[in-house]
A and B are shown apart, each in its own frame.
Chain A
Amino acid sequence: MDLSLEQRLLRFLSREEEDERRSFRDLRSLPVEHRVLEGECVRGAVLRNAGPERFEFDAPENLSKFRDGDAVAVGDGFDFQAALPLVYAGYDAERGVVTLEKDRFARVDLSELERGETYCIDRRPLGIRGRLQDVVRAGFADARLRDVLEGHHELARDDARYERAITALEKTDLNDAQRAAGAAAIATESLALVQGPPGTGKTRLLAELIKILAKAGCRIALTAYTHRAVDNALRAIHAADPKVPLFKIGNAGANAPQLRKLGVHLNPRAVKLPQSGVVISGTCFAIAKMTAEERFHLTVFDEAGQMPIAHAMAGMMLAKRWVFFGDHAQLPPVITAHHADREVTESAFGRLHRVYGGELLDTSYRMNEGVCGVVSDTFYRGQLTSADSAASRIMPFDGGGRFDEILDPAHPVVLARVDHRQPGMRSPEEAALVADLCEDLVQRHGLDPRDIAVIAPFRAQVRLIRSALQQRTQLGDAKGLVVDTVERIQGQEREVVIVSLAVGDPDTLDRRAGFFFSTNRLNVALSRARTKAVLVASSGAFTALPRDAESLRAASVYKSLYETLPCVDVTGAYCGSEG
Chain B
Amino acid sequence: MKPKTGTHVYTLLKCRRAVALDLVGDRDLKRELLPHEEFVLKRGRDHEDVIVEELGWPEPEFERGDWAQGAARTAEMLREGIEGVSQGILLGDDRLGIPDLLRREPGASDLGDFHYVVGDIKSSAAPRSDQILQVVFYSGMLAELQGREPDYGYLVLKDGREERFEIADYAPAMRQVERELDAIRSAPDDVRPFFGMACESCSWSDVCVPTLQDQDDLSLLPGVTPALRSTLESADVRTCTALASSDVAQVASASRLEPALVQRLQTSARARSDRTTLWAERSATPREDAALLHVLTDAFADRVLYFGVLHPADEDGEIRDAVPATRDDEWSAFQEVLHAVPRGARILHYGRSLPKWFEEHAHGREQTLAIESRFVDLALLFRGAVTLPGPAFTMSDYVSLVLDRDPHRTGHVGESAMRAIARDDDWLREKGRSDLRDLAALRARILETQATDRV
User: Contact residues of A with B, CB < 8 Å?
Assistant: 1, 3, 7-8, 11, 14-15, 18, 21-22, 25-26, 29-34, 36-37, 63, 78-79, 339-340, 420-424, 426, 428-429, 504-508, 540, 543, 545-549, 551-553, 555-557, 559-560, 562-563, 575, 578
Q: A340–B257 contact, CB under 8 A? A: no
* Contacts A31-B280, A63-B260; A552 near B170 (Cβ below 8 A): yes
**Would you give the shortest CB distance from B9 to chain A, in whole angstroms?**
10
B375's closest neighbor in chain A, by CB? A22
Q: A559–B173 contact, CB under 8 A? A: yes
A10's closest neighbor in chain B, by CB? B363
Whether a CB of chain A sits under 8 angstroms from the CB of B381 is yes
Top 9 A-B residue pairs of the complex, sorted by shortest distance between their CB atoms: A78-B283, A507-B225, A559-B172, A31-B280, A30-B384, A552-B129, A505-B227, A421-B227, A560-B172
Q: A540–B130 contact, CB under 8 A? A: no
Chain A contact surface mostly? helix
| Contact count A vs B, C-beta below 8 Å | 138
In residues 358-373 of chain B, which contact A (Cβ within 8 Å)? 359-361, 363-364, 369, 372-373
Bitwise, B207-230 to A at CB < 8 A (1) or not (0) is: 000000000000000000111101
Whether a CB of chain A sits under 8 angstroms from the CB of B356 is yes
B254's closest neighbor in chain A, by CB? A578
Q: A1–B176 contact, CB under 8 A? A: no
Q: Which residues of A contact B264 (CB under 8 A)?
A: 33, 37
**Would you give the shortest CB distance from A507 to chain B, in whole angstroms?**
4
User: Contact residues of B with A, CB < 8 Å?
Assistant: 12-13, 126-133, 165, 169-173, 175-177, 225-228, 230-231, 234-235, 254-258, 260-261, 263-264, 280-283, 356, 359-361, 363-364, 369, 372-373, 375-377, 380-381, 384-385
Q: B280–A34 contact, CB under 8 A? A: yes
B372's closest neighbor in chain A, by CB? A18
Cβ-neighbour of B227 out of A30, A78, A507, A555 (below 8 A): A507
Q: A15–B258 contact, CB under 8 A? A: no
Give Cα A507 to B385, complex, Å: 24
A/B interface sample: 14 pairs, CB < 8 A: A26-B380, A29-B381, A33-B264, A36-B260, A79-B283, A340-B356, A421-B230, A423-B257, A424-B258, A540-B227, A547-B128, A552-B129, A553-B165, A560-B171
Q: A504–B227 contact, CB under 8 A? A: yes
* Contacts A545-B176, A547-B13, A559-B173; A33 near B228 (Cβ below 8 A): no
Q: A556–B173 contact, CB under 8 A? A: yes
A32's closest neighbor in chain B, by CB? B281
Q: A563–B172 contact, CB under 8 A? A: yes
Known: A545-B177, A548-B129. 5 other contacts (CB 8 A): A3-B364, A505-B225, A546-B129, A552-B129, A578-B255
A429's closest neighbor in chain B, by CB? B256
Q: B225–A549 contact, CB under 8 A? A: no
Q: B363–A11 contact, CB under 8 A? A: yes
Q: Which residues of A contact B381 (CB under 8 A)?
A: 26, 29
**Would you give the shortest CB distance from B403 to chain A, in whole angstroms?**
21
Q: Which residues of A contact B282 (CB under 8 A)?
A: 31, 78
Give Cα A11 to B165, complex, Å: 29
**Would you give the shortest CB distance from B250 to chain A, in whole angstroms?**
14
B228's closest neighbor in chain A, by CB? A423
Q: B281–A1 contact, CB under 8 A? A: no
B127's closest neighbor in chain A, by CB? A549
Q: A508–B380 contact, CB under 8 A? A: no
**Would you give the shortest CB distance from B351 to chain A, in whole angstroms?**
13
Which of A63, A507, A575 has most B Cβ within 10 Å?
A: A507
A574's closest neighbor in chain B, by CB? B256
Q: B132–A7 contact, CB under 8 A? A: no
B279's closest neighbor in chain A, by CB? A31
**Would you give the shortest CB distance from A77 to chain B, in whole angstroms?**
8
B263's closest neighbor in chain A, by CB? A33
Q: B173–A555 contact, CB under 8 A? A: yes
Q: Which residues of B contact A8 (CB under 8 A)?
A: 363
Q: A578–B235 contact, CB under 8 A? A: yes
B174's closest neighbor in chain A, by CB? A556
Give Cα A63 to B258, complex, Å: 10
